[in-house]
Structure 1
Amino acid sequence: MRGAATFVRWAMLMIRTVRYPKEVAHVRLEAVCRALEGAGPAILAAGSRPPREREAAFRALVTEWLRRGGTEMMPHGGALLTGVPDARESARETREELLAHASPTDRVPGGKAVGLPERAELRMVFFTEESRRGSTTRRAASALVHLAVPGEEGAPWRMRVLDAADPVGLRARTGAFEGAVRVRVDPGDREIFVAGEAALIVDTRCWDGLA
């Protein structure tokens, strides 16, 4: 029972982290929701089993949640299975089963994105200028770009977060947020992010999230 409660608690905490702009791309909401669909009745059913069968019922329930979540939940398996008897063995068996049936694009869950897609939808652009008092920097400049990226071959769309290091300029028009637009980063002494027909331009030293 404790293991099931811990799984649900960690899943809820993972969902809540989407409120932090830099964590949006690391939370697989679809996987968490898929894993816990119907969890309420399932928990009640496991709890109603005779005492001798109850622990095994909850263990099977947690393993099923992890399996339904798929490869995207593998990186969080250690935390999600805390308190589950034989957790390491359960995690290993479930991982092997999932990888055996996963497509090539599913085998590497999460992780850092590589490069930029040709087209994406802008979801958020955040820019804060440097704040100084005399010769002292009170707050460094910062910029974030949230992109919704189409999945390959009908796969779900994903969020990408680009974090700017030492941004110095931002120019934006509302057209940048009107559906999918072409996106690129112009290399050079600085990395300039451009979306649409120059509808959005962010000038920065470099971007974290490109590779």
Structure 2
Amino acid sequence: MSIVTEWTEISYALPDIYVRCSGVEALRLDARDRHGIEFSGERGAPRISIGVGGYVVGPEIRFWVDHRAWPRGETGQLAPTERSRWPGPMLRGAALEAADLLRAALLLTRSVWALSETHLVPVRSFARVFSGAGSDVLAAGSAVRREAAFRGLVARWRAAGGDELAPWFDDPMGYPFSESDEEPAAAAELMIAGFEQQYRSRVATLVHASPGEPWTLRRTAAEDPAQFFVDRAAFDCSRGEADRTGLVRLER
């Protein structure tokens, strides 16, 4: 496979390689083994070999390469790019404020795929606050007193967010959600186990759901871990049992 791209101001950056595995049947990984990866198939099952002894086996493994400098297209061919002719925001006043709040909430919600953000974004609270927002925005947009209608809509959203989201409403794109220092409870359930290689940094991550009213997510992360091991059975028991039986091992 050969990929050709034209020079742009961002084409100096290395392309991103994405791998997505569905229904993983077997996984073994040594964080210290950095001998590259290989894609193959065994008895009809896709397989990724990681280093000397690591591997991932599953019924479906997708692999693709992407680069910010490559224009998107169905044919995969490079297409001439043009500078955007978007004239800027067409909204004003409270309508623009409502649009900015919805946009910020959607962008943050989409960011939960990142292991460093999964446990921070208050997705449940956003869902509660913006429930029915589509119909409410249309109603405000068609109101006789349009500005007053949007001011009232934003005020209702703020009231529904309460003290939890009050700082976010003041700075939707800049407010940093705080991370709890508490360890996941012994009764917590493992939801996500991930390992990321970023340039010279390697990070192992465990995300647990801790019981409570409501349940909350807690993240445990270790940079450049000496050992990271997760058995599939760890997702079917409590954190305490997984630690006690060795189903999860994270050594810093």
Do they fold alike, i.e. is TM over 0.5? yes
Please give the secondary structure, in 1, of the residue aligned with 2:118.
helix
Partner amino acid, structure 1, of 2:194: F
Aligned-residue Cα RMSD (Å) equals: 2.6
Figure out how many residues of one structure are paired with residues of the other and give that number. 156
Q: TM-score, normalised by structure 1?
A: 0.65
Aligned partners of 1:129 and 1:168 also within 8 Å: no
Structure with more of its chain in helix, by fraction: 1
Identify if the C-alpha distance between structure 1 residues 143 and 81 changes in structure 2 by more than 3 Å, giving closer, same or farther: closer
Aligned partners of 1:10 and 1:79 also within 8 Å: no
Q: Which runs of 5+ in 2 are unaligned?
A: 1-94
Matches of 2:137 and 2:251, distance apart in 1: 51
Q: Match of 1:126?
A: 194
Q: Greater CA radius of gyration, 1 or 2?
A: 2
Aligned partners of 2:229 and 2:248 also within 8 Å: yes
Matches of 1:81 and 1:61, distance apart in 2: 20
Deviation for aligned residue 1:68: 1.4
Q: TM-score, normalised by structure 2?
A: 0.55
Alignment equivalent of 1:159, drawn from 185, 194, 217: 217
Q: Match of 1:169?
A: 227
Q: Match of 1:93?
A: none
**Residues 28-59 of structure 1: CA deviation (Å, up to 9, x unaligned):** 01100111111111112111221xx2212101
Deviation for aligned residue 1:157: 1.3
Matches of 2:150 and 2:186, distance apart in 1: 45
Identify if the C-alpha distance between structure 1 residues 178 and 196 changes in structure 2 by more than 3 Å, giving closer, same or farther: farther
Alignment equivalent of 1:148, drawn from 209, 214, 234: 209
Q: Which has the higher contact order (CA 8 A, sep 6+)?
A: 1
Deviation for aligned residue 1:129: 7.6
**Residues 78-128 of structure 1: CA deviation (Å, up to 9, x unaligned):** 23499xxxxxxxxxxxxxxxxxxxxxxxxxx85423233122111122235
Matches of 2:121 and 2:204, distance apart in 1: 20
Matches of 2:173 and 2:200, distance apart in 1: 40
Identify if the C-alpha distance between structure 1 residues 196 and 55 changes in structure 2 by more than 3 Å, giving closer, same or farther: farther
Partner amino acid, structure 1, of 2:211: P
Identify if the C-alpha distance between structure 1 residues 129 and 29 changes in structure 2 by more than 3 Å, giving closer, same or farther: closer
Matches of 2:191 and 2:243, distance apart in 1: 12
Partner amino acid, structure 1, of 2:117: E
Q: Percent identity?
A: 31
Deviation for aligned residue 1:71: 2.9
Matches of 2:210 and 2:152, distance apart in 1: 35
Q: Which runs of 5+ in 1 are unaligned?
A: 83-108, 131-137, 184-193, 205-211
Matches of 1:16 and 1:80, distance apart in 2: 14
Q: Match of 1:15?
A: 109
Residue 195 in structure 1 maps to residue 243 in structure 2: yes
Matches of 1:196 and 1:74, distance apart in 2: 41
**Residues 172-204 of structure 1: CA deviation (Å, up to 9, x unaligned):** 322211133317xxxxxxxxxx63522111101
Q: Match of 2:161?
A: 69
Matches of 1:128 and 1:42, distance apart in 2: 41
Aligned partners of 1:169 and 1:203 also within 8 Å: yes
